[in-house]
Structures are given as C-alpha cells and as structure tokens.
C-alpha cells in the first residue's frame, strides 16, 4: 500500500461532480489543475520536512489556490535543499526554536504541521499564538484533552484549525457518502474497516511511545475510526476492543501492534475494525445496508482508490489526494467553504475521543461508553 507510512519507513454526475468542478484533471496519474484560477491563494509553510512533508510539497506544485512559501525544520541541510527545489526565500525559513517569529511575516498565511504525533500539540499552540492558520496531520494530538486545548487555542487566536483528512475529498469516498445520504443503500447496518501493514525499522519514531503516543492505532488505525464515522454517518456510542501483541520486543509497552475494535451507533448499526503494524494487504472499507453495499479496496492509500457498490463499479477519476486537499482547504480557510465531511479541529477531537475509549477498552476488557 502506497501511503504516508511507507514514506516515513524509508526515511526514518452528482454532488461530487459539483464538488470537483474546478478541478481539471490530465490523463495521467499525476493530474494537475489548469492555471486559470485568479482568486486568493493560501500561502503555506510546511513544518516537518520528512517523507510526508515532501509528498505534500510535491503535490502542491499542481495547486492554483495554495502555494508553498515557507519551511520549518530542525535540519539545516533540508532547509537548503527545499529552498533550492521550491524557490523558498531565506526570510521564510525557520527552525523549531525561532518559528514563533512567523507572527511578523506577512507572507505566510498558514502552517501545515507534519511532525511526529507528540509534537503536534505544542507546535499548533505556537502557530496559533503567532496568528497563523493551522493545518495539522492526523491524529491531531495524543488524546482528546490535548485536542480540545488546540481547538480552544485556535478559537481564541481567531485562526482556523484544519486536519489532514485527505480522504474527505476523495471522489469515490464522497460518492459512497452521497449514495448513503440519498438512501440508495437503505438502512445502514454494518461497516468494516481493515487498516494495516508490516512496519519495518524498529528504531523509527512510530514505534517510540514518547513520540507516537501509541502504536498502530495512532497511525493507520485513525483511518478505520474516522471512516466508520463518515461512512455510517453517525457518532459511535460504545466500543469494545482487544489488543494482540506477538512481538513485545519490537512493540514495547504502550506501543500497540494489533488492535481489533467494535463500535456501536445510535441507529443500531455496528462497525468491526482492525488496526495493525504486523499484517500486509489490509486496506478495505465495506459498508452494507438493507438495499445495497459499497466497498473500497484499496480504501485509504494514495491511490488510485478502487471501489464498487451494489450498483456497479465506481469510476470517479483519480486526482492526487494531497493536491485536492490543499486546493479545498484553501477554499475553507480563505472563502469559508464547508466541505461535505468536516476537516476541522472539532472533527479531530471526535476521533481522539474514540481513540481514548478504545485504549480504555483494551485495558479493561469491557464495553466502554463514548460521549461525543
């Protein structure tokens, strides 16, 4: 599966049609947008120049509504490399010690935080205090308490806080949601989300509890959690969960290897999900109702996403996810656009409440109630 995790391992005719109307795709996999846009442009600095930061930067080269203008990194050599590659001026380059000074830089509108999970909280608070809009990778924080503090800080600073939920703009995903909302699947009964891969280097930050805040659930598992919510269209009210660990040396205390969890929803619908760092070929969403079904496989990779429903194959075009995300987020920040699925900090806090409850359920072995 070609995902953010792979990058990090190597270095350490519907509402949908209207939604994508401004996006003109070319025939190949690296579709770009025609340079006909004449509106406001979101000027972005990326904080964290690792694998996924690189992917976002590359995808932004095709954007017309968002532009990479600055960097924040603790590695001087990376800053120099990015300056050369992306034409970033010296005055828009910062390190982790001095990036509070962006408050005095009128050429930066927003900062995209793409660093290890445990760093998100403090970095987002600093960006908000500097008066800049924030985009933060998921999971937004280590727990719901931290997440709410981030939301409150951005509200107080009167800046927007968005989260890198790229799948919220993915065409086949949105088509299934359209079908569910239109009643084409009937009463929704069940969702299955399988998310996992075999993780590599045992020294990587994702296997360090102090940086990751956990294990697979704090990385690949977020897709199943978030997906269960937007696919079913409800908020879960209870969870049961079981943790399996076959390699306690690689997956130390507090770093989960595999977690299976089950969610219950107000309508009676249920979800059965799996998050793992020890199995490949797991990237599938399945939703079924009284009148039909929908399946995505792969469901959350970088694409192209493949899908089918009880009405046939999904044929919506593939456009580079991060390009679409940044175009759409520019509209959210600059024009107040409301996406079909929310991508704000409040959405992220809901996921964090579910994560908190899953970890509680794995420890207690009992059904844990969720209040969202």
Strand order in the sheet with 93-94: 93-94, 66-72, 42-47, 110-113, 133-136, 161-163
Query: Are β-strands 270-276 and 66-72 bridged in parallel, bridged antiparallel, or unpaired?
Result: unpaired
Query: What is the DSSP pairing of strand 161-163 with strand 188-196?
Result: unpaired
Residue from 112, 165, 223, 302 carrying the catalytic annotation: 223
165 included as an active-site residue? no
| Catalytic residue, candidates 65, 132, 138, 350 | 138
Cα separation, 51 vs 75, in Å, equals 14
Give the whole-angstrom CA distance, residue 123 versus residue 370: 28
Neighbour count for residue 314 (Cβ, 10 Å) = 19
Q: Are strands 110-113 and 133-136 parallel, antiparallel or unpaired?
A: parallel
Structure tokens at 59: 């995808």
* 138 in catalytic set: yes
Q: What angle do CA 33, 39, 60 make, to 5 degrees?
A: 40
The catalytic site residues sit at 138, 223
């Amino acid at each position: 599966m070609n995902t953010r995790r792979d990058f990090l391992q190597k270095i350490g005719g519907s509402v949908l049609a209207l939604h994508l109307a401004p996006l003109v795709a070319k025939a190949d996999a690296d579709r770009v947008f025609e340079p006909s846009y004449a509106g406001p442009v979101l000027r972005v600095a990326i904080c964290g120049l690792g694998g996924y930061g690189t992917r976002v930067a590359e995808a932004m080269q095709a954007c017309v509504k968002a532009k990479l203008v600055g960097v924040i990194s603790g590695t001087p050599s990376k800053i120099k490399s990015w300056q050369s590659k992306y034409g970033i001026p010296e005055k828009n380059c910062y390190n982790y010690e001095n990036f509070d000074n962006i408050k005095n830089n009128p050429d930066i509108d927003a900062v995209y935080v793409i660093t290890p999970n445990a760093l998100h909280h403090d970095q987002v608070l600093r960006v908000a205090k500097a008066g800049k809009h924030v985009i933060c990778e998921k999971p937004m924080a280590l727990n719901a308490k931290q997440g709410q503090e981030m939301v409150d800080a951005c509200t107080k600073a009167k800046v927007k806080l968005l989260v890198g939920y790229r799948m919220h703009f993915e065409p086949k995903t949105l088509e299934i949601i359209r079908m569910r909302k239109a009643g084409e699947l009937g009463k929704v009964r069940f969702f299955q989300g399988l998310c996992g891969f075999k993780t590599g280097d045992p020294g990587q930050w994702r296997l360090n509890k102090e940086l990751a805040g956990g294990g697979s659930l704090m990385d690949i598992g977020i897709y199943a959690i978030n997906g269960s919510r937007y696919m079913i269209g409800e908020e879960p009210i209870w969870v049961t969960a079981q943790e399996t660990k076959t390699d306690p040396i690689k997956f130390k205390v507090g770093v989960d290897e595999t977690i299976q969890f089950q969610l219950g929803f107000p309508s009676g619908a249920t979800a059965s999900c799996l998050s793992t760092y020890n199995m490949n070929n797991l990237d599938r969403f399945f939703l079924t109702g009284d009148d039909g079904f929908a399946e995505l496989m792969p469901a959350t990779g970088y694409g192209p996403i493949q899908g089918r429903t009880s009405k046939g194959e999904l044929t919506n075009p593939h456009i580079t996810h991060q390009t679409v995300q940044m175009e759409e987020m520019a509209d959210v920040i600059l024009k107040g656009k409301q996406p079909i699925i929310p991508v704000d900090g409040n959405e992220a806090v809901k996921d964090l409440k579910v994560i908190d409850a899953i970890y509680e359920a794995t420890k207690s072995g009992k059904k844990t109630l969720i209040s969202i």
